[in-house]
Structure 1
Amino acid sequence: MDYGYFDSGNFTPEEMIIAAGLVPKRILGDSAITTTVEADKYLEPNLCYFARNLLNQAITGNLKNLAGILFTHGCDCTSRQYDVWKVHADVKDLYYLNVPLKRDKIALKFLLKELNRFKSHLEKISGNTITNEKLEVAIDQCNETRSLLRELYRFCKNSSPVLTGSEFFRVIVKAQTLEKAVANELIHAKLQEVKQRVPTGGKKFHVLLTGTPLDYPDFIELVESCDLDVVGVAFSMGSDYFARDVEKTGDPIGDIARFLVAKPPNPTKHPPDPFLDFVLDEVKEVQADGIIYQALKFCEPYLYDSVYILNRFKEEGIPALFLEHEYTTQGLASLRTRIEAFKEILGGTK
C-alpha cells in the first residue's frame, strides 16, 4: 500500500517506509487546479499555492487511499500545515518527522531518536516489524534507484544532450512515486534506450534550473521550447534527490540518519550556503552557460534568499535569470518573453 510524504526539503527516510512493507510515494500537486476553494477556508490567500493545492486535495478526499502521510520539517509553511491537516484533511494517518537544522553530532543524535520514533509508528500502522535485514534490503533498493538516476542524468549533461531535461524529470517523478523495484526496471529500460540515441548536433545554450521544488515538467518544457537545453535540475525533486547514496556500516538506522544529516539543507533552512555550493558545483559539472532560478509566488524562503543567491551567481560570473511564477500551468506562457530575452543575453556573453 502507498504511504505518502509531504516533503519540501527532501528528508524523507524512504528506506524505513519500504522496510515496513509500504511504498513511499511523494504527494504531488495538481497544476491543472486553478482554484483551491476548500483549502482557502483555512489558509491565508498569500500562503504558498503549492501547499494550498495539496491541502485542497486532502480535504476533498483525493488522498484518502494512502496508508498515511508523513510530514517532514521543511519550510515553516509546510510544517505548520500539519496542524491544519490534523483537523481538516480526509486521510487515514498523519505523522510529523522533525528534521534538525544543524549538521553536527547533536543533530545526528536528535535525528536518530526521531527516526526510531517513526520506526515504531510505521510498525504500528503497517502491522509489520522493521528489522535490520529489511532495512538493509531497502537501502540497497534506494541506492540502486539513485545510482541509475545518476547514470541516466549523464545523458542530459553532454555537450550535445540526447536526453532532454523534461524527459529526464518525468523519470525522476516516477522514481519518487512508484514502488522502487518497478521504478528501477523503468529507469534501467530508459537507460538502455537512451544509450542507443545519436546526438543530433547543433549548438544550443545550456541552462541549469534551480530554486523552488518543481513537481511537474511543464516549466522545464517551457524553457526548452525557447530553444535552450536544460542540462541540470538542481532542486530537491531533482538532482538533490539522487546526488549521493546511503553508506552502509551495519547500522541501518544510523546510516540513514547520517545520510540525511549530510544532505545540504535547501533554502527552506538557513544559512543557504551549503545548498548554494551544491548548485555551483553542479553548474561547473554540467558546464551550464547560465542559471534560471525560479520561485513560486509566496514561497518565502526561496524569495527571501533570492537576492543573496543571485548576487553570488553574479560574483561567480554566471549569467542568471530570476523568475517568480504561479504554481498553475496557465500562467507559464507569460514567462516566455523573459526566457527568450535571457537566451539573447547568453548569446552576448559568448
Structure 2
Amino acid sequence: MVVAFLPVAAIAQTRYQDPQGRYDLEVPAGWRVYPDQGADQIIVRRGAVQAIVSVTRQNKGNAMTGAQFVAVTAQEFRRQCPSFRQRQSGTLTLSGAPGVYALFTCDDPKSPAVAETDSALTANEFLVGVTLIAPLAVYYEYLPALDGIRNSLHVTGTPGVPATSGKARSQAMSDLKKACSVGAFTQERCARRLGMRLGRESKPGTAASRPPPGRVYRDPQGRFSVQIPRNWNAIAEGNNGAFGVQLRSGSSWINIMPSGPAANPNEVVLDQEHKIVARSHSGHPVPFGPAGLVQVFDRGLEIAYDDFTAMSPQGGAVASHIAGIGNIDGKGHAFLLLVGAFHPQAKDATDDPFLSVALSVRLAAHREPR
C-alpha cells in the first residue's frame, strides 16, 4: 500500500495551527507541512531537510520528561544508524520551558546526516519534542530555517518565549559551532569562520565585546587586570597572586595565570593541551575542539581560543575552554593562560562568560591603539 503524504501548508511563509489547538509555529516560505501517518506529530519539510514536531499532553502524575524524550530519540537513531555518534548535548529553553537537547551524526558514507532533538515539559504538562534533520552537505545552509521553526513553536497556554541555548552567544555563533562539531567544514575553515565571527561580535557595541558587568580584578603584581562577571568571585592564587587568579561561580570556574615561555598565544594553548594529554595518557589529538584554534584580534591583543566538551568524573558534559592572550606586536613575550570549565546542567549554572572575560583582559605592558 502506498501512503500519500498530503501537504497542509505552505507556499509563502505562514503560521501553522495545530487542528487540536495545542500549538502553532512558523512555516518558512517554500516548506510544507505533512501529518505523520504513524504518530501524533507533524513534519515540516523541504526536500531532505525536515523538522519533526510533537506536542502531547502528559499525565500529571507520570509525565515523560524532556530528557527521557531525547534519550528515546537517541536510541531510535542508534538503531537506524550503526555509525551513530552524539556530538553535543546541553540545556535550552523551548516554548518557554527548561529543556535539553542533543546533537547527533550518522556517518553513512552514501548519505551522512545530522540530527538534533530538543525537548521540554511545559508548566501546563505538554511534552514538546522537536527533531531537526538534514544531510550533512546542506546542514549549515538550512540551520537558520530549522532554528526558526523550532524557535517559533508556541504551546497554547504558555509564554511565547523563543528557544535559546545560552544568552551569551549569538544564534549565528551557536549555529557555526554546531556545524563545526558535526564536521560540516574542515578544521581550517571552521577556525577561519569562527575567528571572523568572533571578530565581528567583539566590535564595540556588540554583545561579545561588552565586558561582563561587575568588579575589576587587578593582579597584585601588576601584570594584568580583568573584569569579574557579576555574581562571580575572584580568589588570588599563590602568595600575593603569584599564580594568577581564579574566577568562580558555583561549580563553574575560570583560571587566569601567567603562561610558561611561548612564542605566541597559539603555542600557549597547545602547550597546555599537550600537558593535559600527557597527564591523562589519553593520546587525544590537539587541539581538542572540532574547530581547531580560533584567533581573535581585539584592541591590540591577540587571543587564541579552543572550545570543546570534556567529561566530568561523574560522566556529565562540561563546556571547557583554553585560551592564550598576548600582544599583537609580539613584544615582551608575556602571555596569559586562561582555562575554564562551565557546567551547563548544574543547579548553580549561569551563562558561560569565558569569551567575554578573555576579551576584558588587559596586560600591563599593553597600550591600546589610539
Q: Which TM-score bucket, shorter chain as reference? A: under 0.3
TM-score, structure 2 as length reference: 0.25
Greater CA radius of gyration, 1 or 2? 2
Higher relative CO (CA 8 A, sep ≥ 6), structure 1 or 2?
1
How high is the TM-score relative to the length of structure 1?
0.26
Q: Which structure's residues are more often helix, by fraction?
A: 1
Relative to its length, the structure with more strand (as a share) is 2
